[in-house]
Chain A
Amino acid sequence: MKRYLNRLIASPYFSFFVTVLLFLALYGVGMAMYKGFMRPQVFFNLFIDNAALIIVTVGITFTLIIAGIDLSVGAVLALVCMVLAWLLENTGMPLPVAVGLVLFMGTAFGAVQGFIITKFDLQPFIITLAGMFFCRGLTAVISRDTIIITNPTWVAIASYRIDLGIGFLSVGAIVALLTIVVSAALLGFTRFGRTLFAIGGSESSAALMGLPVFRSKVLVYTVAGFCSSLGGLAYSLTMLTGYNLHGLGMEMDAIASSVIGGTLLTGGVGFIPGALVGVLIQGVILTFISFQGTLSAWWTKIVVGALLCVFIIMQAFITEQKGKLSSESSMEGNEAAGPPEKP
């Protein structure tokens, strides 16, 4: 029994199992406490309200897998919202062109960040931190006031609801689900995905194996940039505005979701469905707060911060104990865990 438990804890999906259990428990408590939680629409609303966060989390998961990080996602999202609003309101640009342009802008920004980080071997957090400040500042340069989108097509897309019989989904939620499916397939079943896990495990080993490290790393930050801009579009669909403070602190929410879903911050381990459940947990907490009615929204940040801490500490513990836990079942585990800490 103990051996079985140990193997379970040592499995790379242990965090995922814990997360799913936590989600079910939270949802169960919600159902027990509030009658409204029973309605299936509450569950669908988790996707509708968090569509942007889901997409952004996918992007950040890619960077975390290669042991990088992208702190600029929230700011890129705000910039995309702002540029789209500005283009639609101040120029006569047709909607598809504007959407294509902002998508390209975010993707190109991610690519530039990735190029600087990889080419000059700089720490990803400092460059993406600079990118975050750059995009926030640029958003303020475009407009310091809120720009409201009145483009009829965009408004129609935003209010369109897809009927599922027992509830409905928004366009943004559908895009988010598609992103999840595509990225999970990309990571799980393609050469590119396997290369990323190899780089995350050990970059120099990956390079010695002849894997295209440079290209893959730049591509990862490009994907993150693309996801941020796609998330920006989803955010724009819920908000219908461009504003300087959109998505403030979203990078933290996204990293938290990813980590709660079982992504290792040290790289090499990541699971897209887990990231989705991570976002849903945050959504449930937010739903709790809105059902409760008297708590301030700041509690979400604090609870998410605490949750992130717990999961990170759990990860640190598991990584440290992994060698010991799996040594009974296999000898390789001991070597994989690296040299012991204390001589």
Chain B
Amino acid sequence: MKSLKRFAGSSLFLPVVSLLVLLLFNACFVDGFLSLQVTEDGRLYGRLIDILTRSSSLIILALGMTFVIATSGIDISVGAVVAISAAVVCMLIGGRGDGVAETPMALAMLASVCVGILCGAWNGLLVAKFKIQAVVATLILMTAGRGVAQLLTEGQIITVYYKPFAYISGVLPGMPLPTNLFIALLMVLLVVFLMKRTSIGLFVQSVGINPTAARFAGINVTLVLFLVYAFSGFCAGVSGLIESSLIRAADANNAGLNMEMDAILAVALGGTLLSGGKFYVGGSVIGAVTIQTLTTTMYALGVSADQLPVVKAIAVVVICLIQSKKAQDMFDRFKARRAKKHAGGKAVDAL
């Protein structure tokens, strides 16, 4: 009972419970939702695996976004950066019909991740050096970014016929699970390593709580902010690889569309306050899986992709209200007043 109560108070409570509710809902209404099968060549197959695979790019984005939000910033350009990174990798490999890569794939992948870091560094420069509000600084790239991606692909959708490119989001021969799941796992491990072995997490947190105090404590606030946005760009670059490999094409208009909202939602659901400070990497990861489950559930219910934002927007507002200190105060006062009334009534009864 005590541990249950502690769990209810922890940051993981909200994402885990909403994930469980969604899974329960799916298990009841979708046939064969929980069944897992193993195909002949040793691959795991099932709806749960599907959700996990699909959420890998969102998990990666949410990791970067967690740090950004922890410094009380925001990065709404991630969707556009995903599009740019997808455009770069597809452009470099090239859409040749005979399935030959124009640039070695490793080089193309490296280039697209580097472009992602470059975009993030640009955001970081604006926010950290020029002290522009994070929303506006990243809004520039959010709108201009798709234009850049469009210019790179010359307004076309580049389709890649080079076979190994599909492996990034596909299954390598002999592996039980798709590669992108391993990439996401690797990224999570990298972040966990940074958290456990270095003091970067502490730096980020202190910058988020009070940048002035952090500076007086000897932290290079400008550098921390810059690195945080660069890391978010790196994550978006990796996501762009996965997203483009998933459809084996670069679509400048639709790659990573609305993903910034999903990433913010995942982080908020994971218990990180949007006003910055304490952050929870584990919560963000579970939050990302929850969001993907929500998306899949909505698709199963027949909601189309362009209508889905309605549901997510409502979810964001509700989570913000739950997190809001003022709303909590109001709720507490309301409860106190009711308890008082109740007690008063009892006293009258006793008389």
Contact = CB atoms under 8 A, between A and B. Distances in A.
Interface of A: 69, 71, 116, 119-123, 125-127, 129-134, 136-138, 140-141, 144, 244, 249, 251-252, 255, 259, 265-266, 296, 298-299, 301-302, 304-306, 308-309, 312-313, 316, 343
B293 interface: no
A275 to B, nearest CB: 15
B314 interface: yes
A296 B153 CA distance: 12
Interface residues of B, number: 46
Classify the secondary structure of A's interface with B: helix
Given A137-B313, A265-B132, A301 B321 contact: no
The residue in A127, A140, A244 that gathers the most chain B C-beta atoms within 10 A of its C-beta is A140
B139 A255 contact: yes
B205 to A, nearest CB: 19
B211 to A, nearest CB: 12
Nearest to A113: B317
Contact of A312 (B136, B261, B307, B321): B136
A69 B135 contact: yes
B279 to A, nearest CB: 16
A249 B145 CA distance: 11
Contacts of A131: 313
A34 to B, nearest CB: 24
A296 B151 contact: yes
A127 B316 CA distance: 8
Interface of B: 74, 76, 126, 130-133, 135-137, 139-144, 146-148, 150-151, 155, 216, 258, 261, 264, 274-275, 304, 306-314, 316-317, 320-321, 324-327
A137 B132 contact: no
A298 to B, nearest CB: 4
Given A119-B326, A126-B74, A127-B320, A252 B142 contact: yes
A309 B143 CA distance: 13
Nearest to A121: B326
Classify the secondary structure of B's interface with A: helix
Contacts of A259: 136
15 contacts: A71-B135, A116-B317, A120-B321, A130-B314, A130-B316, A136-B309, A137-B310, A137-B311, A298-B146, A305-B144, A312-B130, A312-B137, A313-B132, A316-B130, A316-B132
Contacts of B311: 137
B258 A301 contact: no
Nearest to B216: A343
Nearest to A309: B140
A242 to B, nearest CB: 14
A120 B326 contact: yes
Nearest to B132: A312
A112 to B, nearest CB: 10
Contacts of B74: 125-126
A298 B84 CA distance: 14
A127 B321 CA distance: 10
A265 B136 contact: yes
Contacts of A136: 306, 309
A126 B264 contact: yes
A129 B140 contact: no
A134 B313 contact: yes
A302 B258 contact: no
A343 B213 CA distance: 12
Contact of A120 (B307, B308, B320): B320
The 9 closest A-B pairs by CB, nearest first: A305-B144, A137-B310, A137-B309, A134-B313, A133-B309, A140-B306, A298-B147, A301-B147, A252-B143
Contacts of B140: 252, 305, 308-309
